[in-house]
Amino acid sequence: MSRLMLGRTLERICKAVLLLCLVHFLIMMILYFDVYSQRFDIFSRFNNGRGVNSSRGPHHYYYNFSRPNTTFASYLATADHLLPSTKPEANHTPPTPKPLPPCPEVPPGLVGRLLIEFSSQITLERVQRENPNVTEGGKYTPPDCRPKQKVAIIIPFRHRDNHLKYWLHYLHPVLRRQKIDYGIYIINQLGEDTFNRAKLLNVGYTEALKDAEHDCFIFSDIDLIPMDDRNLYHCYDQPRHFAIAMDKFGFRLPYAGYFGGVSGLSKKQFLKINGFPNEYWGWGGEDDDIYNRITLNGMKVSRPDVRIGRYRMIKHERDKHNEPNPQRFSKIQNTKNTMRKDGISSLMYRVVSVKKYPLYTNISVEIGKPPPRPLKG
């Protein structure tokens, strides 16, 4: 009886061991096939990725751990591209550039007093080489700061090509150092009728606004070169007279109401005085009329320090058909009566051509003829 009980006990133990072995075998098979299926899925992804992304260049499935500073973590980071991402690819837009800072009130690159001479031969090709950042039409914008104003520099012109070369040679570098956003407009009076400086300046104001949204206007004679780059060519709270100390006047202001040579007005100031007079044919008087318009409209002329506002004039003979205007003195006395009807509001002219050269914009115009002078009785 005891042997029978012992045999049954051993039989049960053997069955239990066999059952455990069978369970163990099943578990091992399940784990084996699970791992195998995962490896198969990885290889299939590799193959799919190679087919889809073949245009991106060859994939490096082997990583060189012999390189300096190579770690397994760096391998994992590098190998991320082998597996397709479950996230949609983001649009890789370039980063938004940082806004430029405002240009300083006193640019750091100014040099102060300049040596101005007119004995050297100047060519436009040389000036262009010296100012590679000036763009077509004689325009320049500082690349490293944001100017407060957009300046149009307007020059009345006729038969002064040699003077133009010197003016461009000296002024482009000065304006760039001053961090001015500017364009240069040469207003060329066609024909040989009497010259009219102020009317050409009105034309320049009108045409410059057609070209760009200028808010500051500098009016300069072609034969005047500043001798100090601290004389900043932009507009101020009051109309600005820049050329206060010319060499031909002994570097002094000739009289208190003088406003000739080089001046500047903002768009608001210019419109407030109805621009410049159109009826000053010949030399003289128009700058005094402009001074009267400024004071009659409650504004004051601002000027730089006399040591900074120095100018050198290119010597030349008086132009033909620009003789002194014999009517200028009587016209100056009537500015109060004429400034509302004679100015930018009454301007008439015809543009013949507009040509943009590398260093300036040339606008050739016909502005008419002076009215016949009254006969002396």
pLDDT tens-place string over residues 94-130: 788 889 999 999 999 999 999 999 999 999 999 999 9
Distance CA 89, CA 99 (A): 29
CA distance 313 to 159: 17
- Asked if the structure places residue 96 within a domain, the reply is no
Q: Kindly report the backbone phi and psi dihedral angles of residue 225, in degrees, each rounded to the nearest multiple of 5, phi listed first.
A: -120, 125
Helical segments of 82-196, H only: 124-130, 161-177
Q: How many domains does the chain have?
A: 1
Residue 200 Cα distances to 230, 234, 272, 290, 335, angstroms? 28, 20, 19, 14, 19
User: Is the pLDDT score of 256 beyond 50?
Assistant: yes
**208 part of a folded domain:** yes
Per-residue pLDDT tens digits for 222-240: 999 999 999 999 999 999 9
Give 301's contacts (C-beta < 8 A, 6+ positions apart).
Answer: 238, 239, 240, 241, 259, 291, 294, 295
Q: Which residues are catalytic?
A: 221, 223, 283, 286-287, 313, 316, 318
Are 59 and 82 a contacting pair, CB within 8 Å?
yes
Q: 205: domain CATH number?
A: 3.90.550.10
| pLDDT > 90? residue 274 | yes
DSSP helix/strand/coil, 148: coil
Is residue 191 within 8 A of residue 158, CB to CB? The reply is no
The confidence band for 53, taking pLDDT boundaries of 50, 70 and 90, is very low
Residue-wise pLDDT for 300-337, tens only, equals 999 999 999 999 999 866 666 667 677 887 899 999 99
Is residue 83 a part of any domain in this protein? no
Residue type at 288 in one-letter notation: D
In a domain, residue 205? The reply is yes
Please, are residues 188 and 364 in contact by the beta-carbon 8 Å criterion?
yes
377: in domain: no
**At 371, is the pLDDT very low, low, confident or very high (cuts 50, 70, 90)?**
confident
Sign of CA dihedral 348, 206, 293, 283: negative
Domain presence at residue 281 = yes
Q: Residue type for 44, please?
A: S
Is 38 domain-assigned? no
Which pLDDT does position 329 carry in this prediction? 78
The helix or strand, by DSSP H or E, that contains position 11, with its residue range, turns out to be: helix 2-52
Residue 157 phi/psi, 5-degree rounding, is -150, 145
Please name the amino acid found at residue 5.
M
Give the containing element (helix H, strand E) for 203. Answer: helix 197-211
Q: Quote the radius of gyration of the chain (alpha carbons, Å).
A: 41
Q: Which helix (H) or strand (E) holds 263?
A: strand 262-266
**For the chain, percent of residues with pLDDT exceeding 70:** 78
Tally of CB atoms within 10 A around 63:
14
Across 122-140, average pLDDT: 97
The answer to whether position 182 is within a domain reads yes
Beta strands in 83-229 (DSSP E): 139-140, 150-157, 181-189, 216-220, 224-226
326 to each of 158, 258, 280, how far by Cα in Å?
21, 19, 10
**Residue-number span of the structural domain to which 197 is assigned:** 131-316+347-366
Asked if pLDDT for residue 292 goes beyond 80, the answer is: yes
Average pLDDT, the chain: 84
Of 310, 314, 249, 318, the C-alpha closest to 117 is 314
